[in-house]
Amino acid sequence: MRRETQLHYAAWRRRTLSDLSGRVAVVTGANGGLGFETARGLLSLHARVILACRDAGKGEAARARLLAGFPDAALDLLTLDLSRRASISDFAARLAALAPKIDLFVHCAGVYYPRESRTPDGLPATVGINYVGTVELDRVTEPLLSPDGRAVFVTSLVDRKGRVNLDPLADDEPDGYRAYARSKFLLSGYVFRKSAARIPGEPLYLAAHPGITKTPLLSKEKTGPRPLWSRLGHALIYPFTQSPEKASLSILEAAAGKAENGDLFAPRGLFQIWGYPKKISFSRQVREAVKTHPERFDF
């Protein structure tokens, strides 16, 4: 691995992850937080990485930071806004021109509870970005995925809420937590359904959740007003959580570890909040929803 000294958890990385020389990886939401750490991890494995970022300026800044650590890396940047269908199809066309074959597609971009309640296309914002936009991106880029490739989706430990409205066009719930949980429930259901429908010779569909880690996801700049219990809850829990770098290990294991179709990786520690990753099952609630309403997860 190159420049391994700049990364932590070197022994785990050596033990768990494969070399990705000659492989091409796309990471959405790569300008910060978990996406940035995932891109860093993939570069250390010698992958060519394409950063897919909403904001060109933030993307350029991330690219510069990554190149400082990996000066000889093959590292491209494309803009992508998951809240606009036109941007997603435009991205797919630009991606195809840049790299007609993708080996790893890491769908990491997401929002907690954005300030705007609707996307420019009129969808409920949280589900519109975390689920509808993400799945649309998968749909239009799937033809680029190599048959031995992988699509990895970043979900959350809050994906196992009891009853959720499975209609992606239904309004986001009025509090951020429930809207976010529903969006990740639907996303997990999509990956579970998609992996079950895979036929041999097609790319693997996998998911990962990072536990809980302090990133800009819940910052004032990115979220609408949050109730006091939500702000207090996160303030109290953050000291007991892990760094974005450690949290990115479950995503990296799904992307570059020994994985089978339909695997879900998550931290092995208490309540899956922190720790090195392990394989877990999709939640009973997600499996039930897919079993009883498979049509809801078909695109």
Ligand X SMILES: NC(=O)c1ccc[n+]([C@@H]2O[C@H](COP(=O)([O-])OP(=O)(O)OC[C@H]3O[C@@H](n4cnc5c(N)ncnc54)[C@H](OP(=O)(O)O)[C@@H]3O)[C@@H](O)[C@H]2O)c1
Pick from 49, 95, 154, 206 the residue near ligand X by CB under 6 A. Answer: 154
Query: Which amino acid belongs to residue 28?
Result: T
List phi, psi (to 5°) of 91.
Answer: -60, -45
Beta carbons of 282 and 264 less than 8 angstroms apart: yes
168 touches ligand X by CB under 6 A: no
Burial (CB count <10 Å: 0-12, 13-18, 19+), residue 225: exposed
Give the pair of three-digit tokens for residue 72: 């000889």
Rg (CA), the chain: 18
41 touches ligand X by CB under 6 A: no
Between 33 and 203, whose beta carbon lies closer to ligand X?
A: 33
29 touches ligand X by CB under 6 A: yes
Q: Give the nearest distance from C-beta 154 to ligand X in angstroms.
A: 4
Among 3-11, 16-24, 67-75, 211-219, which window interacts with ligand X (CB under 6 A)?
Answer: 211-219
129 touches ligand X by CB under 6 A: yes
Give the pair of three-digit tokens for residue 17: 């992850």
> Residues 55-94 vs ligand X: string with x where CB under 6 A?
x--x---------------------xxxx-----------
191 touches ligand X by CB under 6 A: no
Task: Measure the CA–CA gap between 70 and 89, rounded to whole angstroms.
Answer: 30
Between 46 and 77, whose beta carbon lies closer to ligand X?
A: 77
35 touches ligand X by CB under 6 A: yes
Pick from 31, 44, 272, 283 the residue near ligand X by CB under 6 A. Answer: 31
Q: Which of 112, 113, 131, 180 is catalytic?
A: 180
32 touches ligand X by CB under 6 A: yes
Q: Which residues pair with 147 in a beta bridge?
A: none
215 touches ligand X by CB under 6 A: yes
Strand 264-267 vs strand 204-208: parallel, antiparallel, or unpaired? parallel
Pick from 13, 48, 54, 85 the residue near ligand X by CB under 6 A. Answer: 54
Between 114 and 257, whose beta carbon lies closer to ligand X?
A: 114
Per rule CB under 6 A, count of chain residues that contact ligand X: 28
Task: Measure the CA–CA gap between 110 and 125, rounded to whole angstroms.
Answer: 11
Q: Give the nearest distance from C-beta 46 to ligand X in angstroms.
A: 23
Task: Measure the CA–CA gap between 152 and 81, rounded to whole angstroms.
Answer: 18
Please identify which residue in the block is written with the tokens 């409205």: 165
Q: Among 66, 80, 71, 76, which residue's Cα sits nearest to residue 7?
A: 66
Does residue 205 have an active-site annotation? no
Beta carbons of 201 and 147 less than 8 angstroms apart: yes
Straight-line distance from the first to the last Cα atom of the chain, in angstroms, rounded to the nearest whole number: 39
Q: Give the nearest distance from C-beta 148 to ligand X in angstroms.
A: 25
Q: Give the nearest distance from C-beta 189 to ligand X in angstroms.
A: 15
List phi, psi (to 5°) of 13.
Answer: -60, -45
Catalytic positions are 180
Which stretches of the chain bind ligand X, using CB under 6 A?
A: 29, 31-35, 54-55, 58, 80-83, 108-111, 129, 154, 156, 209-210, 212-213, 215-217, 222
